[in-house]
Amino acid sequence: MSSTKVYLCDANSTDGTAEIARSYEGQLNLEVIPGGIPSVGRNLGARQGRTPYVLFIDADMELADSTLVRRAVELMKRKKLHCLTTNISCPEGSMWDRALYVGNNLMQHLSRLAKPFSTGMFMLFDRAQFDRLGGFHEQVLFAEDYLLSQKVARSRFRVLRGKVLTTNRRFKKMGHFKLIRLFLNTALHSLSESYYLRDHGYWRSEA
């Protein structure tokens, strides 16, 4: 991993994220850069790199499978993909938490039949295609990952076998039913950009 450039986009966190990350600089080729809301931070990080692929992951993700990134890049190359994601697991969450992530994974797989759906928890992009699509929409207030993945051709999208691990912080902050409602409204309003430009309280819940 020391040869892999990692950009951590820090949006003025107060939990010591940047300092903890810098403590690994001897093991990782890591640079902390100013962030913002996720769409802004992700785009800033993407502009720094010069590699043919760029991987976006959320701050609370764990890459427990040491082969996952290598297999992801190999599949991207072999199938000439534009975007790839994988399954999300919440092993330490409640039964509800785990069930909802199973539902999320199912929707990702089914999305190959219509329009691709990937979350920013793990999103590997072909850099050239990422640039052609204009990156993440920096004015939307949530679901920037969903909106970008919708622009990818079905034939150039895959869900990689395997999984990444996450916490249940989202459910703790917002509650299960509010997140389910937000997820369903996101899908129902996929053709209405104005819906995503309005404040639905997502980041107030995350604060």
- Residue 2: Cβ within 10 Å count: 11
Nearest in space to 41 (alpha carbons), one of 131, 124, 136: 136
Contacts of 205 (CB under 8 A, 6+ apart): 173, 174, 178
- Split at pLDDT 50, 70, 90, the class of 130 is very high
As a whole number of angstroms, the distance between CA 58 and CA 38 comes to 9
- Split at pLDDT 50, 70, 90, the class of 207 is very low
Which is higher by pLDDT, 88 or 179?
88
Contact between 171 and 100 (Cβ < 8 Å):
yes
pLDDT (tens digit per residue) in 189-203: 887 888 888 876 665
Question: What residues are paired with 89 via a beta bridge?
Answer: 165
Task: Return the pLDDT at 204.
Answer: 52
Exposure on the CB side of residue 174, measured as CA atoms within 13 A: 20
202 Rama class: left (phi>0) / alpha (psi -120 to 50) / beta: alpha
Contact between 44 and 153 (Cβ < 8 Å):
no
3-state DSSP of the chain: CCCCEEEEEECCCCCCHHHHHHCCCCCCEEEEEECCCHHHHHHHHHHHCCCCEEEEECCCCECCCCCHHHHHHHHHHHHCCCEEEEEEECCCCCHHHHHHHHHHHHHHHHHHHCCCCCCCCEEEEEHHHHHHCCCCCCCCCCCHHHHHHCCCCHHHEEEEEEEEECCCHHHHHHCHHHHHHHHHHHHHCCCCHHHHHCCCCHHHHHC
For the chain, which residues make up each domain, given as ranges? 1-35, 50-206
pLDDT (tens digit per residue) in 154-189: 999 999 999 999 999 888 888 888 888 888 888 888
pLDDT (tens digit per residue) in 9-68: 888 887 888 888 888 887 888 888 888 888 999 999 999 888 999 999 998 899 999 999
